[in-house]
Structures are given as structure tokens and as C-alpha cells.
Amino acid sequence: MNNIQKLSTTTIKFIKQSQRFNKRGFFTILNQYERGVVFNLGKFHKVKEPGFRVVIPFFQTCNVVDVRTFTYTLDKQEIISKDNISLIVDAIVFFKIHDPELVVTKVGDCTTLVKEMAQIKIRELLSHNTLDQVLHNRDKFSNEIYDELKDALDGYGITVDRLNLKDIRFEESIVRAMAKRAEADQLREAKIIYAQSEVQTARQILEAARILEQSPIAVRLRELDALQQIAKEPSKTIVYTPSNAFDSIPKVPIQH
């Protein structure tokens, strides 16, 4: 009876162990988007390409790696900018595995690695810039973070395809202060433009006066044009006196 129980226990253990290895694939079919990292007695052997593959139980193990592109939305993180303003930043990362061997042998969890590295790079870069710089150069900072993250993860067999800063938020009081500042800037620009137009108008009037002073005919033409404009108005009595009407009157010297 004891021998039968021992035999049954041994058979069950063998079946369970066989099932465990069959799950990794004695006859393994790798899809087009998968690669198989094979170990012989714990040592790296080769990376198997897609197709029908054989893995020798007890001697070989095969870790299947998905090489498609994945997206990961980073957790919201609070960052203090260079001008001591609290920012809440959201970002998304697109990445894929280009070297299955490095990922399996060097990385325990590639998603966690990408997440932590991306958060570190975002915090390092944005914390050294002011709020205005972050808001006006979002695409530039996204590209810089992408370049640094790509270089950092390339040695782990991971390729970063893209990184975008989705949203940058801050406190409501900062929003109100920025709105007031924008309004003040617009008012200042309006006053500057008005002053510049006044200067340009004064220069044009001065230039016109100099031309009229040098040409009496131009003065008469200007008078006739003014009369034409006034005549368009109804119920108007016009007494026209030419500008040179008093030129013939001799000037009486003033005696002191």
C-alpha cells in the first residue's frame, strides 16, 4: 500500500513538472511578434525566431518576449520648477524591445524600468527650468527627454519610439496671476502701439506741412479739396476766404 502511494505521488509530481515545462513549450510556436530566448542549463544559448520551435525539457528553457510597441502612461508626478512653482506633469511613453537577450538577462521588469527612468529624466529636466520656459517649450523638452531616455535604455535592449508630455497643470492661484500678467502685457503692448502710431502721424503731418509751405499751388488744391468735402454736408453756409486774400494789404509796422 505504501509503495502504491509513493508511486502515485511520484507520478503526480512528474505530470506536474511535465505540464510546467510543456507550458514553456516542448513544441513551441512563436508568433511573428515574438522571440524566444533559450537557455541551456541556465546559460544563454540563442534567440529563436518566429515559427515552430522545439525546446528540450529539463535541459532547455525558453522565455517568450513580445517585440511589439507598447504604450505606458506615467503616473502624475509633482515637480518644483526653477522659480519654485509646483507642477503636476503627465506623460506617455512608446517603447519596444529590440534585443530580447538583454531584456531577459539584464531586466527584471522592463515596464517598471521604463517608468522609473522616464520619471527621473522628466524630473531632472523640468526642475531646472522656469514655468514660462516649460509652457512655451513643451515640444523641445519632450524631445530632450526622449533623447536622454533613449540613450539610457538602449543598453538594456529597449528602444523608446516616442515620449510626449501630455498635460502640465499648476495651482489655481498661479493661473489667476498668469492671467493678470497677460492682461497687463496686452495693455502695455496696446499703449506702445498707440504711441508709435502717434509719432508716425506727427512725422507725416510735419512732412506734409513742409511740402505745402514750399508750394502755394499745393495749398490752394488742399483748400479746394476741403471745400469739396464740406459741400457734401447739407444746410451749410460757407464763407470762403482764400489764404492769400490778405497778401496785398500792406503791413503796418508796429511802433513801440
User: Tens of pLDDT along the chain (256 residues)?
Assistant: 444 444 344 433 433 433 333 334 567 888 888 888 888 888 888 888 888 888 888 888 888 888 898 888 887 888 877 777 778 888 889 999 988 888 888 888 888 888 888 888 888 888 888 777 777 888 888 888 888 888 888 888 898 988 888 877 776 666 666 667 777 878 888 889 888 888 888 888 788 777 767 766 666 667 767 666 766 666 566 665 665 555 555 555 555 5
For residue 69, what is its C-alpha cell? 510597441
pLDDT at 6: 44
Shared domain for 80 and 154, answered yes or no, is: yes
CATH code: domain of residue 105:
3.30.479.30
pLDDT at 30: 85
Position 251 in a domain: no
- Write phi, then psi, for 58 (nearest 5 degrees): 70, -25
pLDDT at 180: 72
Shared domain for 34 and 53, answered yes or no, is: yes
pLDDT at 248: 53
DSSP code at position 115: H
* Cα angle 61-66-72, degrees, rounded to a multiple of 5: 135
C-alpha 250/C-alpha 144 separation (Å) is 84
pLDDT at 255: 55
Domain count across the chain: 3
Tell me the Ramachandran region of residue 224: left when phi exceeds 0, alpha when psi lies from -120 to 50, beta otherwise: alpha
pLDDT at 235: 59
Shared domain for 19 and 76, answered yes or no, is: no
Position 125 in a domain: yes
pLDDT at 195: 87
**Helices 138-154 & 110-126, crossing angle to 10 degrees?**
140
Position 237 in a domain: no
Shared domain for 24 and 88, answered yes or no, is: no
Position 3 in a domain: no
Rounded to 10 degrees, the C-alpha dihedral 205/206/212/213 comes to 150
Position 234 in a domain: no
Position 191 in a domain: yes
Structural domain containing residue 100: 70-170
* Cα angle 234-237-242, degrees, rounded to a multiple of 5: 120
Position 230 in a domain: no
Residue 233 corresponds to which amino acid?
Answer: E
Spell out the residues 6+ positions from residue 26 whose beta carbon is closer than 8 angstroms to its own.
Answer: 54, 55, 56, 57
pLDDT at 4: 44
Q: Find the length of the chain.
A: 256
C-alpha 128/C-alpha 138 separation (Å) is 14
Taking the alpha carbons at both ends of the chain, their separation in whole angstroms is 154
List the strands of the sheet with 34-40, edge to edge. 43-48, 34-40, 60-66
Rg, the chain, Cα only: 42
Position 198 in a domain: yes
